Structure 1
Amino acid sequence: MDVASGYTVRLAVGVDTGTTPTGGGLGGDGAPSGVPGGTPPGGTPPTGAPPAPPSD
């Protein structure tokens, strides 16, 4: 095998099908469950179109 041919990876993952699903999904604010709410780090993201690049 050589790097140019690529690699194959296999990962065995156990799934417990005996537990009751809890849903997960999105919260009321659109964030996945378990994600803390509030303002994101760095403040509120900007809105609108990005500024145009400078013209030379």
Structure 2
Amino acid sequence: VILWFHDESIFYAHDRRRNNWYHKDGPCKPYKKGDGHSLMVADFVSADFGWLRSPDG
């Protein structure tokens, strides 16, 4: 029996922490709200064989 595990992550365009300093008399710049576009990265991994790859790359 060979165990394969599914590894999956989703990254979003606006997924970051924002730290901005503004002068108290200066204007604040608005930023986009929401997650934005996403990129899904998925793969299979085994302790015996490592990452699953096809023979042709």
Instruction: Verify same fold: TM over 0.5.
Output: no
Q: Which has the higher contact order (CA 8 A, sep 6+)?
A: 2
Instruction: Decide which structure has greater strand share.
Output: 2
What is the TM-score with the length of structure 1 in the denominator? 0.20
Report which of the two has the higher share of helix. 1
Q: TM-score, normalised by structure 2?
A: 0.20
Answer with 1 or 2: which has the greater Rg.
1
